[in-house]
Amino acid sequence: MKMKREQIKILMLGVGAVEEVYEAPARVKDSLYILQILDTAGTDECGIIREEFYHQCDGYLLVFSVIDRFNLQEIREIQKDIKR
């Protein structure tokens, strides 16, 4: 039986992140998935680049500090950007 292979892209967004790409294989039944996590930098200069990926990804991971009110406000703005 031939195993299917599919790539799933997740965009990690937040304040103060680093710009990296992580990949990990995941096998579900007869399918092999390559989970690709794009960790975008949380700076304004990456905002344009980040918005390019919004519609190319399968999901989003929003990362913020629960003890920093500024982080939560920034995440709310990022959430609005995703919904546009």
Domain containing residue 40: CATH number: 3.40.50.300
Instruction: Report yes or no on whether pTM surpasses 0.85.
Output: no
The number of domains in the chain is 1
Instruction: Answer for the pair 53, 24: CB distance below 8 angstroms, yes or no.
Output: no
Range of the domain at 53: 4-83
Is residue 14 scored above 80 in pLDDT?
no
On the 0-12 / 13-18 / 19+ scale of CB atoms within 10 A, 1 is exposed
Q: Is 75 a residue whose pLDDT tops 80?
A: yes
Q: Which residue has the higher pLDDT, 2 or 37?
A: 37
